Chain A
Amino acid sequence: MSVDSRGRMLLAALVALVLTVLPLPAWLDPFRPAFLVLTVLFWSVYAPRTGGVAFGFFAGLALDVFQGPILGEHALALSLVSYLAVREHQRIRSKPAFQQALIVLPALVVYEFVLFAIDGWSGHPVTSPLRWVHTVTGALVWPPAAAILAYGAGRA
């Protein structure tokens, strides 16, 4: 909302983006959680006025530039996920961290499914089951990631 919290949000997004594009060994890469998606989820749940759909859209656009086959793919998926998170933010926020992780898992599956569908429609089908692995690791790292993001947001 304020300039300060918006700055913190953008900083968190930048760090998440760097973690997303950081080179990893090939065997480890499918396990890398979608850090930027987790960041968008966090800010949509805990600060829906600062974060929200617009933040999701632009974060997704950044992902498209770095690793999208077509522009707008991650943007659509992330706006959808952040919209769902904003709509349900009060319900999600009141849950303990590990229950939140159980909610984050389907959110990540929705995100990956949108990517999967658009990949297929646009003629870049990648049907390897490995693409779904990050949804599980993402849900697993949600409790510590949310704690770190909360610390970064200045409310721990």
Chain B
Amino acid sequence: MAAFGTVPGRPLQGRGGSPGFRFTVYALLSVVAMYLDQRQHYIDQVRYVLQAAAYPIQLAVNSPPAAWAWLRETFATRQALEAENRRLRASERELQLRSMRYEALERENGELRGLATAVPPVADRWLPAEIVSIQLSSLRQRLLVDRGALNGVFKGQAVLDEHGLIGQTTHVGPWSAEVILITDPEHAVPVRVERTGLRTIAVGAADTTSLALPYLPANADVQRGDLLVTSGLGGVFPEGYPVARVTEVHRDAVQPLAQVRAAPLARVDTDSEVMLVWFRPDHPAAPATPTAATPGGGSLGQLRQGNVAMQPQAAKPRPTTSAAEPSAPAAGSDAPARPASSGNSPPAAPPETAGPSDTSAANASPSDAPASGTPAPKGQP
């Protein structure tokens, strides 16, 4: 075979050093870039420029479907348009009637809560954005929308459609923004079960159409059909927006945690437009700590915060009960819980970090229990 691109007489390492040297240089460059991107967020500016450079290619890739949609719209028949018009008019009338009632309810709610005036809605401003491309693989679920920093879009902004929560922006370019969906395996959204007020975290499952609720104990009050709304924790999403509906609750006798699945309400696959939302920062329903969310940035920061928010709830109550009231019935009711919670190391961070504090409580109670626990059986009968 002819050595294509190489002249046989000349050595390979003519210009720019040997391949090994070049590889070392480029590997170092990559590592530095990764370090800066991960730890320091210094190269957000570089990302911004690269995102802008990538946008034409993304637009071009999406142009055939976009052209097809445009053609179909252009040659839509008069009848179809009239039918659509009629349908929209009917739905607008219905929505207006509903929002009339909603305003009255909101005023009433404000009065009941003792507020002098009704609180304005938490959403301050809406910006519709067109979906440029959708990436819906099981490993990565992202949208690209045609609004960017020049429209005021920022990193970590909530994205909704008319049915529910879609996700949040991760990378923002001048004219475009990447949105991570709530079903992406890297994403976690703090939610509340609307029926019971139970708070937990919904993470993206490995398939495109469901969310998993991995941190609910087996005895948690969750049913099929429960509505999950955002809980307002985590600093990205405001409180009370619909997220998903529980589709599947599976309780296994040997598992300490329930396996709960939920289907997101937003219909990403049929949407062509999404809504970017700005919230009033001083509103009671606004995201809990907007300042805490920005340094972590994006999904990762939110994931960490969400886990931290879960941990105290899982770990705190036990030491206080064993220390404050070391009576025999309390220790007895505590005992069956202990092997269950120390045996659940497989299911990820919160239970695992709850483990050490749990064992320390378990170590403390044997010394406590004989001292103050022995009088209790005498005193009780």
Contact = CB atoms under 8 A, between A and B. Distances in A.
A130 interface: yes
Chain A interface size band reads 35 or more
B50 A65 contact: yes
Q: Which of B23, B30, B62 has the most CB of A within 10 A?
A: B30
Contacts of B345: none
Contacts of A51: 5
Interface string A79-109: 1100100110000011000000000000000
A25 B6 CA distance: 41
Given A48-B12, A128-B206, A73 B138 contact: no
A71 B37 contact: yes
Contacts of B206: 128, 130
B208 A48 contact: no
Given A21-B57, A124-B186, A76 B300 contact: no
A72 B138 contact: no
Interface residues of B, number: 52
Contact of A52 (B4, B22, B33, B140): B22
Contacts of A136: none
B43 A71 contact: yes
Contacts of A86: 12, 19
Given A29-B137, A71-B43, 19 more contacts: A22-B61, A23-B136, A46-B5, A49-B5, A54-B22, A57-B26, A66-B58, A67-B140, A70-B37, A71-B34, A79-B23, A93-B1, A94-B1, A123-B300, A123-B303, A124-B186, A126-B140, A128-B139, A153-B4
Given A70-B34, A72-B34, A29 B54 contact: no
Contact of B300 (A52, A124, A155): A124
A128 B134 CA distance: 20
A52 to B, nearest CB: 6
Interface string A1-37: 1000100000000100110011111100110000000
Q: Which 4 A-B pairs have the closest CB atoms?
A: A47-B5, A72-B33, A29-B137, A76-B30
B105 interface: no
A72 B30 contact: yes
- Identify whether the interface residues of B are mostly helix, strand, loop, or mixed: helix
A137 interface: no
B173 to A, nearest CB: 9
Given A26-B208, A76-B27, A87 B20 contact: yes
B47 interface: yes
Contacts, number: 144
Nearest to A71: B37
A23 B133 contact: yes
Contacts of A128: 138-139, 185, 206
A60 interface: yes
B257 to A, nearest CB: 18
A48 B12 CA distance: 8
B16 A54 contact: yes
A139 interface: no
Contacts of B31: 72, 76
Interface string B19-59: 11011001101111110111000010011001101100110
Contacts of A61: 50
